[in-house]
Structure 1
Amino acid sequence: MTALRSAARLLRRYHDCTALFMPPMLEKDQTWQLPPRPPFEVICHGDFAPYNVVLNSGEVTDIIDFETAHPGPRDWDIAYAIYRWAPLSAGVAIEDLGGLDTQILRTRLFLDAYGLPAKERPVLPGMIIDRLNALVGFMEREAANGVERYRRNIEEGHDRIYRRDVAYISEHRDEIIAGLMD
């Protein structure tokens, strides 16, 4: 749980730092791989996941791979981070890495370490669903535009995994919200 909590604290520090740069960043003509998403509160990492951090002695100390960074609300970035760190995924339960109760507990621990107030938590399952749907749409557009990487992702079924997880989160939305509010 040390990695989970330290990841959440690092994401919070990252968000707090990028919030200071938002007004100047918005004044410049910037190109982002992922589209900016209002309201513009922070520079979202866009892919804050275990595979995009540096771990030292069990503690997450650094963030890498800013390819998908873009302006957006904190919750947009937190939603994807929870999806990856809890992880809120149907595939995890299948792999016996923890069922829904464990996923909700890990989500709570992440949000507590981040410092997200309880009143802001009920929107997160819907935000995760929106974030995953946006990711699938992005992948499909890029594949249709001839980007080989995304064509391969679609061919390998990445979009189907995200859609399955959208259905899983939708099905358990009320349980997830209740678990985050206890």
Structure 2
Amino acid sequence: MKDQKWQLPPRPPLEVICHGDFAPYNVVLNGGEVTGIIDFETAHPGARCWDLAYAIYRWAPLSADVAAKDLGELDIQILRACSFLNAYDLPTEQRSALPGMIIDRLNALVGFMESEAADGVERYRRNVEEGHADIYRRDIAYIAEHRSKIIAGLTG
């Protein structure tokens, strides 16, 4: 047990065990009702908001590419993010930090993927080759570009 480590490093402050990838593709539904959450390989100790930031990124989703897939322009994405945060009951004063935290989380993900790929981990080498890191970089730029509008929408 002593030699075991988390796939993703612990991220202070250590408040909870983060899922690490809480996204629609890791939720099991039965008849429209959630019956399970799966894929805990990226679970790691961290802050609630660290996990929440990635969840908002995936569930709203705050992404440059989703508008083309009829998931809405930025205003709709912000409304979905607000709905998620309201259900989570995140205080308004904590919401303004989320866009920056999403950017940090995505940068950490890109760094992890590229490091694993460089170490010869086939799965991550393939992910990088297929452009996954580039998608995250575009989304980082998208969130950074619209940061003020996202903050205003989340806190207003």
Identify whether the pair has TM-score above 0.5, normalized to the shorter chain: yes
**Higher helix proportion:** 1
Aligned residue number for residue 145 of structure 2: 171
Task: Select which of 45, 50, 61 maps to 2:35.
Answer: 61
- What SS does the aligned partner of 1:91 have? coil
Query: Residues of 2 paired with 1:167 and 1:114: CA distance?
Result: 26
Counterpart of 2:128, as a letter, is I
TM-score by length of 2: 0.96
Q: 1:159 — aligned with what?
A: 133
Matched residue count: 155
| Paired letter, 1:169 | I
CA distance in 2, matches of 1:167, 1:176: 13
Structure 2 Cα separation of the partners of residues 145 and 176 of structure 1: 36
The 5-angstrom pairing of residues 113-128 of structure 1 reads 113-128=87-102
- CA deviation vs aligned residue, 1:60-99 (integer Å, no higher than 9, x gap): 2321110000000000000000110000000001223200
Q: 1:40: which partner in 2?
A: 14
Q: How does 1:143-154 map to 2 (within 5 A)?
A: 143-154=117-128
Question: Which has the higher mean CA deviation after the structures are superposed, 29-38 or 132-141?
Answer: 29-38
1:79-158 matches, cutoff 5 A: 79-158=53-132
Distance 1:104 1:61 in 2: 27
Task: Determine what percentage of the aligned residue pairs are the same residue.
Answer: 79
**Could you list the runs of 5+ residues in structure 2 that have no partner in the other structure?**
none
Structure 1 pair 37/30, CA: closer, same or farther in 2 (3 Å)? Answer: farther
CA distance in 2, matches of 1:99, 1:43: 32
